[in-house]
Each structure stands twice: as structure tokens, then as C-alpha cells.
Chain A
Amino acid sequence: MSLTNDYIKQRLTEKFGESISQVEESFGCLSFAAPKDLNLKVMQFLYDDEELQFRFLTDLTAVHYPNRTGEELAVVYHLHNFKERVRLRFKVYTSIEDTRVFTATRLYESANWMERETYDFFGVNFVGHPNLKRILNVDEMTYFPMRKEFPLEDQTRTDKDDEMFGRGGHIGI
């Protein structure tokens, strides 16, 4: 394997300098973050470069970090180089008030539904997306359910009337 993580890191810092941040390697996969207005430039560079050739978008999703003020949402791209069999993870942070991020649909057709899914669950507004509407949830939904402010039901709660759920209480027909 000739394409090493160090070399990718070096090429990225040569091209984008200080913009590339949070460079780390976890479980052998290079991971870095870039400012959100550079996301397409970074991906285009990784796509076009003759040595890097990251031409497969494996996965696109988002993560919500409610405690990181100003960068609550992270859009995560997983890119893959088929020739060298190298993967990398690339993140773009955006604030929750202004969730605009450029769409990757011009580069990858597969980003279309993945971005719709990310919009559906996290409310990331992909600028330039041809058809940005909800995909798995109902169209009438007004909130973004995968955000952390919507906890699942607390399993220790006691205020629920068990009788209504067929557990315990009086059994009558």
C-alpha cells in the first residue's frame, strides 16, 4: 500500500494550510475537519488529485453535539480510494442556527438521498441540493428527530399508567 495517511495529511496541509484541523488517526482511519465553506473544494481536490483519487463516497451523515457552541452539527463524509484501498473521514462543522452546507450531489450522485436523510434527521440545509425534502419521515414533521434534545423515553419513569399498556394493574375485558 503506497498511499499512507501521513502522505494524505501532507498533501492536504500543502493545499489547504491551516484550514485543515483536528487531524487524527483512529483505528487506522485518517480523520480531519475543514471549514464548511471549503467542503466542496476539499472533496474536489481529493477526487481529482492523481495520487489521492478518493472517488467513492461511502457514507454521509451527521452528528449532533449540543454542547459545542457554534459548531453543534458535524456533517461526516467517509471517502474511499478503491485502488489503494484507503478510507478517510472528513468532517464539516456547522452551527445549529445557520445549518447551510454546500451539497455534494454535483460530485457524487449517491449524496442525493444521503443528504436528504441527513436533512430529515438533523436539519442540515444542503445548499444547491436538487430535491431537499424529507425522505424517511413524514413530510408534515416539523422537527429534526435525531438531534439530542429529543431523548427517547426514559426507561425508569414511573408516571405512566401501566394499565393502559397491558402491564400489571387491573385486567378486565
Chain B
Amino acid sequence: MSEQQHIILPEGSIERQTQTLNLGPTHPATHGVFQNILEIDGERIVSSESTVGYIHRAFEKIAERRPYYQITPLTDRLNYCSSPINNMGWHLTVEKLLGIQTPKRVDYLRVIIMELARITDHLICNGVVGVDSGAFSGFLYLMKYRELAYEIYEEICGSRLTTNIGRVGGFERNFTPAAFEKIERFLKEYPEALKEFETLMNRNRIFMERTQGVGPISAERAMNYGFTGPNLRAAGVDYDVRVAQPYSSYEDFDFTIPVGTTGDCYDRFLVRNAEMWESLSIIRQAMDKLKDLPSDVYHADVPAYYLPEKSAVYTKMEALIYHFKIIMGESDILPGELYFPVEGGNGELGFYLISDGGRSPYRLHFRRPCFIYYQAYAELIKGAMLSDAVICMSSLNLIAGELDA
């Protein structure tokens, strides 16, 4: 079965026992612009068809005319719940193309930001699963801590949701002491909230009844459907890009990959919760490692690609030249072709980049995890109740921005 056959019977026909229900594109229960045309028999879903593309913005085409540093803001808008991961993924891709080696401190700072982003992504997703099953309080508890995480981003880069954080080669400025204080505060306060959240949800009878056995998928089917990230791990495959192909010095950290067994909504929920604990532990480790490193290093020494400080531009000839070259897109970019994956909030986020040596990519393709696994949705909800379809959608962590690119 590759494509679900949509049952079409003439209007008013006597055999017509099912009804068509349009769920979306702007239904409040879908948390984004997703349209699902459901064929329902009573409250059971007989078949469904998903329509995507409502917020398609042609990022791949736009990227073909932009210099490399201007593509970072485009990546913000893919998975906007964890945009720092997308930014870092893009920087790492370009750095790999250019052969830039970043100092360890930069790697660790990036790890901190990426893990914070993973936590914010997962807490939204798990909070929303709770909301869709009728438990609003968990979401409200956790939302406060997303605010704390956003304040950390704000302290580092000045923006909150679409962060555009970091530059090719490192960060635009060093982390301030206030940023570290805020990270420490997050590390201190968030575990308590997460624990409370878990106590509230994990063994909650109503929540378990609503999520166990809903939208299950076997490991084999999940792999065939191209699942990655927490959704694949919930089905029992321990694939994580951070471990399989470590980037940004993830090999220096000690963490486990939580896996589930059944791949249903409940397992996906548990895997995400467990991952948040792992992320917290990674941030803790990174903070400890940073203590042994010189505190003034925040970018690689690559003057041809990393924008010099403004004061240097006004006083030093070299800095002025490099500033001009970078802004005008005149820095030498090597021709090459590479695919670079990072572990995004909801799966393997890949950048397939072809450079012909020009100022902008010849071709850039984003491998968006949600776009690939969303096609399994029709299979996941077949035969389920309408209300289960809503939970199933939120537990897959679909982000419209990433889906449509």
C-alpha cells in the first residue's frame, strides 16, 4: 500500500455512509497550516489526504541568489521552535565546505545553544500533546521556561524566535556573564518544572488512555517512511546524528539516546521527555568544560569569512578590506558538493549544498525531517478516532515552516 485510496462516492448516493471532513488549514487543533481531508465513518477515520504547501516560501530558490551569510535568516524560518539548531547546522555546513576548524570553546557554546533549542522544541511539542488530550496545565507550567530560554538567546544574539544566531566561524560576540547566569538559572529551575510536568503526565491514567496505542508505527515502517529523530527513536531505532556522525564536538559528551518500543504517541512523548533530561545533562557538561578553556575565544581565526569587529574596521586597513569583501560576497568560496546533517528538534535536518565557487550556492536543498515523515500521517491515523488524529498530529511535532520550506 503506497497511496491511500480516497473513497469517492457521488453526493446523495445510498451507499454513501461516510462523510468528508476538512480538518484545517486553519483549524485551531492543528497548530499550524495543515489541511487534512478526512473521510470519516461516524467518528472513525476511513482514509485521509494531507495537503501541504500553504506557507511555501521558496527558500531554496531565494538561497540561490543570496551570499552565504544571508541564508542563515532563511534557516530560522524552517523549524521556528528550534531555530538555533538550524542556524548552527547551516554554519557547520559552510564551515565544512570551507574547511574551517572552530575552536573547542565555540563548539561547546554551540552545543549549549543547540541543546537549549532542543529543550524548547520538545517542551512545546510535549506541552501541546497535553493540551490536545485535555491537560492544559502542563503546557502552562513549561511555557514559562521557554521564556527563560528565549531570554538566553536574547542575551546572546538580540532576538528570540527567529534567532539568526552565530556566524560562519563562531559567534558574532562573546557570551556575556549575564548569559551564563541565565543559563545557570535555567539549569537550576527547569529540572524542577520538568519533574513536575512528568509527575503530572507520565502516569496519568487519562493521559495514558488517550495516547497509548494511538498512531503507532513499527521500526521497519518508520525507517521505510524516512522517520528520524524522536519519532524514529520512539519506534525503537537508536539513530541519532549526534552519535552516528558527531559534529560540533558532540563526541566529547556523555549522554544516552532514549528509545521507545511501540512508536505510539505515548512513547514519542516519553522519548522527548527523556531527551530533555539528556539535553540538560549535556548543557551541564558543556558549562563545566568551558571553565577550563580561555574565556575570550568565540570565533575561529578566519578573517576572510568572519566579519571583523566594527572598531577594527574603522582603524585597520586589513579589517576594512575583509569587511568589504565579506559584505559584497567577494570572499573565495571553494567549489564543492556536500550533504551535512545535524540532529534537529524533530529529526535529521540536512543541508545539501552545491557550490560552484560563486558568491551564492549553485543549489541548496534542505532535508526537512517533518516533510518526509508527515506522509506517514495517513497511515498512522487510519481507523483511529478523530480526536486521536489531533493528538497524533501534535505528537509528531509537525512544524508548518519546516514542512513547506
Contact = CB atoms under 8 A, between A and B. Distances in A.
B344 to A, nearest CB: 13
Contact of A55 (B2, B3, B96, B223): B223
Contacts of A171: none
Contacts of B405: 136
Contacts of A106: 2
Contact of B226 (A61, A110, A130): A110
A12 interface: no
Interface stretch (B52-60, B154-162, B315-323): B52-60
B294 to A, nearest CB: 30
Nearest to B53: A136
Of the four ranges (under 10, 10 to 19, 20 to 34, 35 or more), the interface on chain B belongs to: 35 or more
A139 B2 CA distance: 22
B190 interface: no
B259 to A, nearest CB: 13
Contacts of A117: 371
Contact of A76 (B2, B352, B372): B352
Contacts of A31: 337
Contacts, number: 98
Interface string A57-69: 1110101100000
A100 interface: no
Interface in A1-37: 26-27, 29, 31
B244 A85 contact: yes
Given A56-B226, A59-B350, A63-B363, A109 B64 contact: no
B64 to A, nearest CB: 7
Given A61-B365, A110-B226, A136 B52 contact: yes
B225 interface: yes
A136 B404 contact: yes
A55 B223 CA distance: 8
B348 interface: yes
B42 interface: no
Given A55-B223, A135-B52, A145-B58, A26 B338 contact: yes
B19 interface: no
Contacts of B239: 82
A131 interface: yes
B237 interface: yes
Contact of B224 (A26, A82, A108, A138): A108
B375 interface: yes
Contacts of B225: 109-110
Contact of A58 (B3, B61, B337, B367): B367
B96 A112 contact: no
B212 interface: no
Nearest to A154: B65
Interface in B61-107: 61-62, 64-65, 96-97
Interface in A58-109: 58-59, 61, 63-64, 76, 78, 82, 85, 87, 89, 105-106, 108-109
A130 B61 contact: no
B367 A113 contact: no
A78 B337 contact: no
Contacts of B367: 58-59, 78
Of the four ranges (under 10, 10 to 19, 20 to 34, 35 or more), the interface on chain A belongs to: 35 or more
A136 B371 CA distance: 11
A135 B374 CA distance: 13
Contact of A59 (B62, B97, B237, B352): B352
The 10 A-B residue pairs whose C-beta atoms are closest, nearest first, are A110-B226, A136-B53, A130-B3, A136-B56, A59-B367, A27-B338, A152-B65, A61-B365, A109-B224, A113-B375
Given A27-B96, A113-B371, A150-B61, 10 more contacts: A26-B337, A58-B348, A61-B352, A63-B363, A112-B2, A114-B371, A138-B53, A146-B60, A146-B61, A155-B65
Interface of B: 2-3, 52-53, 56, 58, 60-62, 64-65, 96-97, 221, 223-226, 237, 239, 244-245, 336-339, 341, 348, 350, 352, 354, 362-363, 365, 367, 371-376, 404-405
Interface of A: 26-27, 29, 31, 55-59, 61, 63-64, 76, 78, 82, 85, 87, 89, 105-106, 108-110, 112-114, 117, 121, 130-131, 135-138, 145-146, 150-152, 155
26 contacts: A27-B338, A56-B226, A57-B226, A58-B339, A58-B348, A58-B350, A58-B367, A63-B363, A76-B352, A78-B367, A82-B223, A85-B244, A105-B2, A106-B2, A108-B226, A109-B221, A110-B224, A110-B372, A113-B375, A114-B372, A130-B2, A130-B3, A138-B53, A145-B58, A151-B65, A152-B62
